[in-house]
Structure 1
Amino acid sequence: MTESAHLWTVEEATDNAYEVFLELAPDNLSEQDIIYFNMHREAAGFAEDNVPDDSWSEFVEFEIEPELYLQVIIGLEFDDQDIEYARMLISLEKDAPFCHIIWKA
């Protein structure tokens, strides 16, 4: 991925996604999910970034250019299972902010 003055780095975009997650989680997750996430996020929390997968075409009405978007999954990782709280599509363009979130059901 080419870095540019007009693009967030992957690390910056992941950090931005995590901040958005923390801000919006109380309105989109159950109180139990929030409590459980907060209890375990220091030891088991993760924010995994990768290239957006094809499933996003179901949720957004534009072609996703992999060099301009990042998929970030936020959750908890345990030995026996992972809990995914949010899957996010976030723009890397500083001048064109965009974020779409699929929340844990």
Structure 2
Amino acid sequence: MTEKIQKLNPDTAIDIAYDIFLEMASENLDPADILLFNLQFEEKGAVEMVETAENWEQEIGVLIDPNEYAEIWVGLVNEQDEMDDVFARFLISHREENREYHVVWKTN
């Protein structure tokens, strides 16, 4: 019997990702990127749930089922309201009892 996964509410997934981002950004981003993010977040900042990509295996070295994870991006949007400066991409499990996550941080 296949277990039906209760998917994360988008707002909950965004909150989880943003909390992790705030906690870990200083250890994983360049100081210049942190300064840029802090200065521009109020005006251009965005935390968005996007369609879960299927290429996470290349990023994290583990094959995942895209249906079992939410993908969240944290970054800054441009004048066209498109996120063109992504500081972190999150993959968060929908499984509440085993809330694993992976993060790919911006590199310069």
Partner amino acid for 1:49? M
Compute the TM-score of the two structures, normalised by the length of structure 1.
0.85
Normalized per residue, the structure richer in helix is 2
Which segments of 5 or more consecutive residues in structure 1 lack a partner in the other structure? none
Compute the TM-score of the two structures, normalised by the length of structure 2.
0.82
**Aligned pair partner of 2:103 in 94, 101, 104:** 101
| More off after superposition, 75-84 vs 21-30 | 75-84
> Deviation per CA, 1:34-61, whole angstroms, max 9, x where unpaired?
1110011111001110221111021242
Partner amino acid for 1:53? A
Partner amino acid for 2:34? I
Change (3 A) 1:94 1:60: farther
- Kindly indicate whether residue 47 of structure 2 is the aligned counterpart of residue 47 of structure 1: yes
Change (3 A) 1:100 1:12: same
* Count of residue pairs brought into register by the alignment: 101
Partner amino acid for 1:27? E
Measured in 1, the distance between the counterparts of 2:33 and 2:61 equals 26
Give the conservation status (yes or no) of the 8 Å contact 2:56–2:63. Answer: no
Aligned to 1:38: 38
> Deviation per CA, 1:63-85, whole angstroms, max 9, x where unpaired?
3241x210001100122772110
Aligned to 2:23: 23
Q: What is the identity percentage for the equivalent residue pairs of Structure 1 and Structure 2?
A: 30
